[in-house]
Amino acid sequence: MFACVVRLRPSLGAQCLAVGMHGLALCAIALYSAGWQCLLWVLAWIFSVLWACSGLRQTKVKKIEINQYGQASLVVMHWKTAVPAILCPDSMVRAKLMALHWQTAKGSVYQLLLPDMMDAQAWRRLQVWVRWCQPNKVEPVLRQSILNKVIHWLRLKDNN
């Protein structure tokens, strides 16, 4: 098993998308509202811009460390040390997107990763680890228990 460290940085693609969407929203506000409704929509738009800027400038998880045994640790911005984490089965991996749900001793951590948040080799290694190299997967245990039930049901075990 390989060990790797994935250092995360803010996504430039997500920042560009947020700027474009907020620009379109401001155009829609200017064209389709008037009077007090326009003022209300502009205040909501300002709140949305400030919230998006604070969320996109920094990532909650700064680093993902995977040791030679395939176990992951997260370095989160507000925690002082690396915390062991287990990837939950409801995580999603696609070619250009990873939505990860981590379970740690301090609680759950949800994370959305894009390819421009890390270098290409780290993206590939993390995708491989998430898809195939995790320890303690549920499916093999489930398959083994079903196989044991079938063997017991068919009485194929040797009684020696």
DSSP 61-118: EEEEEE-TTS-EEEEETTSSS-EEEEE-TT-EE-SS-EEEEEEETTEEEEEEE-GGGS
Asked whether residue 159 is domain-assigned, the answer is: no
So what's the pLDDT on residue 160?
A: 43
The pLDDT profile of the chain, 160 residues, written as one tens digit per residue, is 578 899 998 889 888 999 999 999 999 999 999 999 999 999 999 999 998 888 776 668 889 999 988 899 999 887 778 899 999 988 999 999 999 999 988 888 889 899 999 999 999 999 999 988 776 554 444 445 565 666 666 665 555 4
The pLDDT of residue 64:
93
Cα–chain-centroid distance for residue 132? 16
Beta bridge partners of 104: 85, 107
Residue 52 inside a domain? The answer is yes
Residue 48 lies in a domain: yes
Residue 3's nearest CA partner among 64, 71, 62, 66 is 66
In a domain, 31, yes or no: yes
User: Residue 62 is which amino acid?
Assistant: K
Contact 98, 92 (CB under 8 A): yes
The answer to the question of residue 147 being in a domain is: no
What's the domain range around 52?
4-139
**Rounded distance, CA 69 to CA 58, Å?**
30
Around Cβ 53, how many Cβ atoms within 10 Å? 13
96's CB contacts (< 8 A; 6+ apart) are 114, 115
Helix (H, G, I), strand (E, B) or coil at 158: coil
Residue 109 lies inside a defined structural domain of this protein: yes
pLDDT at 135: 66
- Residue 142's pLDDT is 44
**Distance of alpha carbon 157 from alpha carbon 148, whole angstroms:** 9
Give a yes or no: residue 144 inside a domain: no
What is the number of structural domains in the chain? Answer: 1
Q: Residue 78 is which amino acid? A: H
pTM of model > 0.85: no
